[in-house]
Amino acid sequence: MAYPVGDVGFDTIVTLYSKVHYRGQAVLREWKTELIEAGGREDRDAILHYGDPQAEVVAAANGSVACALTHIGVIKASGPDAASFLQGQLSNDIQAVQNTSQLSGYCTAQGRLLALFRIMRQGDDFLLLLPQEILAPTLKRLSMFVLRAKVTLSAASDQALLGLAGPAAPEALRQIGLPAPTLPEVAPEGLLHVMTVPGRASPRFIVLGPTDAVRGLWPVAGLAPVGSQAWAWLDIDSGQPTIGSATSEAFVPQMVNLDLLNGVNFRKGCYPGQEIVARTHYLGRLKQRMYRASFAGPVPPPGATLTASNLPGQPAGTVVEAQRGPDGQVDLLAVVQISSHDEGVVTLQETPLQFRELPYPLAASC
């Protein structure tokens, strides 16, 4: 069914969207080409680093940095039923997204996370941020449930993102005429929005807007340019999970601490998997939690299996994300059996993990 907007019909909307889509893709490719010419090492959608990943993660840990977040994609939900549609699909209360952002999970009927979004509003639209690698399958699955709802879901390929972190980030934003909102606010400024996201020592910022406008801010004066690996390390350091293709459908929301990160609302209405998520919460049946740890060895991929001394011959956990840290060790987030964390020696590639504190309380909630 076509829903005309004023005198503009559905076919015209499709044509306009196609032009915006291809223009956005072209500008993003141009920006990526500039980043590569500046020394960026690309892998699929990500600019991994600029030649010295260890120096970049040291800069991210101890200084102030900027990152072109080309590895993060955006799904746009627009239309009069956008809020009610998302409310019936995701784990958090979409009605609460006003001038703030929120984490929200998209689950299977069995309560397993297919994707994890950071969501904000752009006028009457909702923007859902997620890894580019799972954008297409996630968009396809969400679109299957639109049915008669007056909502349009699309890949917002005309939007780009820029991350800023460190003590100099707020002043860097002010120098380019942008606000530095407090957590968890989102502040609009012309065509751009500045979103505040958690960091261990201080909040981080994500600037989102048309690719031309975001590209024009790069490089950011006073901030060291870093690639996606350094930004991923900041996520690990902040205890913020990422769900990608290797970990999709591996965890219920509480396993990756989504309940502790205000990513689940237990009083909202139904959504896929809600009964299992709620039962886990109210009956206390959670046996695994996400922990932060480090070890000496090669960087494992997401989805790598952990073992433990108290569970011989059985898997004891799964790596969520791992990156080389500033001290040369591998830092990671992993979902681990609570009993193994408390009573056993947890190993990865036959090397014991050293568990580190998360920047939010965990023990009282297990």
**pLDDT tens profile 202-232:** 999 999 999 999 999 999 999 999 999 999 9
C-alpha–C-alpha distance, residues 274 and 291, integer Å: 24
Segments of 139-251 assigned E as strands:
152-155, 159-165, 186-189, 192-197, 204-210, 224-226
C-alpha–C-alpha distance, residues 354 and 332, integer Å: 10
Q: For 27-78, write each residue's pLDDT tens digit.
A: 888 999 999 999 999 998 899 999 999 999 999 999 999 999 999 999 999 9
Segments of the chain assigned E as strands:
41-43, 46-49, 65-68, 72-78, 102-107, 113-122, 125-131, 152-155, 159-165, 186-189, 192-197, 204-210, 224-226, 288-295, 305-308, 317-324, 330-337, 346-348, 351-352, 354-356
Can you give the pLDDT at residue 29?
86
Q: Which residue has the tokens 């890894």?
A: 131
Can you give the pLDDT at residue 363?
57
Which domains are delineated in the chain? 10-237 (3.30.1360.120), 253-365 (2.40.30.160)
C-alpha–C-alpha distance, residues 252 and 17, integer Å: 35
200 or 21: whose pLDDT is higher?
A: 200
Q: For 107-131, write each residue's pLDDT tens digit.
A: 999 999 999 999 999 999 999 999 9
pLDDT band at 180 (very low <50, low <70, confident <90, very high): very high
C-alpha–C-alpha distance, residues 344 and 84, integer Å: 45
Q: For 3-24, write each residue's pLDDT tens digit.
A: 333 344 444 444 444 455 566 6
Can you give the pLDDT at residue 2?
32
Contact 248, 141 (CB under 8 A): no
Compute the average pLDDT of residues 182-205: 95
Q: Taking all residues of the chain, what is their mean pLDDT, rounded to a whole number?
A: 92
Q: For 301-346, write each residue's pLDDT tens digit.
A: 999 999 999 999 999 999 999 999 999 999 999 999 999 999 999 9
Can you give the pLDDT at residue 195?
97
Buried b (16+ CB within 10 A) or exposed e, 35-45: beeeebbbeeb
- Closest C-alpha to 270, from 118, 108, 87: 87
214: left (phi over 0), alpha (psi -120 to 50) or beta: alpha
Contact 108, 114 (CB under 8 A): yes
- Confidence check: pLDDT of 279 > 60: yes
C-alpha–C-alpha distance, residues 192 and 297, integer Å: 41
**Could you give phi then psi for residue 258, rounded to 5 degrees?**
-65, -30
Q: In terms of pTM, does the model score above 0.85? A: yes
Compute the average pLDDT of residues 188-205: 95
Contact 85, 96 (CB under 8 A): no
Can you give the pLDDT at residue 181?
97
Sign of the dihedral defined by the CA atoms of residues 247, 250, 256, 258, in that order: positive
